[in-house]
Structures are given as structure tokens and as C-alpha cells.
Amino acid sequence: MERLILLVILNIGMIQSASGNENTSPYLDLTYSYNADTLSWPGFIGFNQTIMIRGSDNQFGVYMEANDFCVSEHAGTQIDAPAHFVQGRRRLGAVPLDNLIGPGVKVDIKAKADANSDALLSAEDLEAWEEANGPIPDGAIVLMYTGWGIKYPNKDTFWNIDVNGTLHFPGVGTDAAQWLVDNRKINAIGTDGASLDSGNSGGKFLSHRILLAKDIVSLEYVANLDKLPAKGFTVFAIPMKIEEGSGGPVRIFATGWNPDVPNPFSIAGCSHITPIFNVYLIAMAFATLLF
């Protein structure tokens, strides 16, 4: 599994370069770039990068670039490990790769969020999704689309803080979190907002605690959810492996998002790997064995 994951990641840049157009690439990036505009939870540090070397004036006498950076675990497109809110559960370095890949499910509550910034994903929303699309598959990565991503990285509109200091953005209701734990076997849940729990939830982080207690990791600040279909795609969420981390930066991408482009990788037995891509994977596998 780890070697196959590595091969897929190695091929992303090649395929995107060859296509020259995101709309014809089999990969959709669901990650915001880390830069000076990166948002972090209020009170946490953002992303700071220091250029150490950029040019030929260095001890090696050749052109070189090297930087230092510092960032909160909970800034930008990021993952919450179970230990983030549940004592004794896995920290980031111990989260298995199998839990970071799965069939994608997009649950759209944008209409609710447009009408009410404190809107919650409900158990009824999940049941309605299943009525229209079939059962949420085992190992799924469920992505809640609220439309909040259009506000990123504007701090004022994204955090939506009122005169009393209360944040207002959509989240996952505790009934939905409990429904998923009781009725389905998902790997992860994500949102285009800042947190699984709504901004006005009072700082108890109840939905986080329900889900993380069952080793269901959380993905936050997920980009480009508006481009995903309701189902039929595969999600990869590959974080920085911070051994003692409560979370960290994560590169999230999807395959199978565009019905006009063949899905080069599918969790369900890899049944959608195209013949050309299959030959390429075999060649890369031999190269990996040789080196």
C-alpha cells in the first residue's frame, strides 16, 4: 500500500504538467498554499517563512534555494489527529495510511449555510444524501461543502466574529457526528470551513470529540469542494508525519472528480486504472525495485 501511494504521488506532477490544464487533469488539488495569507485558529501562529539562501552567493558557490518555516499544526489545510481532543488516542505520526485514503462523499449544505452562518450538518442531511446516492461506503472520506471556502483567506468574512467576540461559521452537528459513528465506518470527515464544530459552538468541540474518539480524523480548510461531485471520486489526505503531532499540514487531492477524465486510481479494487496509466505504474514499480 505505501509503495502504491508513493507511486501515485510521484505521478501527480507529471500528469498535471503534461495536461497543462487543471480541468483535464485526473487530479484535483484540495489544498490551499501556505503563505503569508494562511489562516490559523485565532490566537495560533500562522505561516512564517524565512529565506535563508536564494542565489549563488553561498558557501557552495552554486545557485541554491533554502528556507526555514514555522507554522501552527492547526493552520491552513490541515488534519486533526485523534489526540487533538481525546486523551490517549493516536497522535499524527501513528495515524495509518489506510485511514487517509478513501472513497469520497460530498454532502452539500451550502443552501443552509447561505441562509444561516451557524448552520449545522444534521443526521437528516446524511440520510437525505444516502436516499439520493446510496449508502456511504466503508472507509469513506466525507466532505461537508458549505461554500465557506469562497471567503478564504479573508479573516473578517471567514471568522465572521460578532461584537461579542463569537465566531460564526457552519459545522457538523453532534447528531450527525453520532449518526456517522453509530451507523457508518468512515475514515475521515472534512470541511471547507475552519472547524468541524461551528464557530458558535461554545468551545466544547463536541463533534470533534465524538468523531476523534473513534479514530475518525478531521480535515479542515479543504479547498475546491465546489468542483467535486456528490460521489464517485477518491480522496487522498497525506499529512506531514509529525510523530507527536496533534495535527499538521496536509496535502489533500482527489481523483475521479471529473467525469470527462478517467480516474487513474480507485479504492474499489483499482478498477478504474486506465491501461496507459497501468503500464506507467508497472514501469515505475520496476524502477523503484531497481533503485
User: Would you please indicate which residues are annotated as catalytic (active-site) residues?
Assistant: 84
Nearest-angstrom CA–CA distance, 162 and 263:
44
Is the link from the previous residue into 82 a cis peptide, with omega within 30 of 0? no
Nearest-angstrom CA–CA distance, 245 and 189:
18
The full 3-state SS of 165-177, as one line of letters, equals CCCCCCEECHHHH
Q: State residue 15 phi and psi, 5-degree precision.
A: -70, -40
- 8 A C-beta contact, residue 174 and residue 153: no
- Which cell numbers hold the place of 227? 468542483
Query: Which residues on neighbouring strands pair with residue 101, listed in sequence order?
Result: 236
| DSSP string for residues in 81-113 | -GGGTSTTS--GGGS-GGGGEEEEEEEE-HHHH
- Rounded to 5°, angle at Cα 67 from 65 and 72: 150
> Who's near 72: CB < 8 A, 6+ residues apart?
40, 41, 44, 45, 46
- Which cell numbers hold the place of 26? 485526473
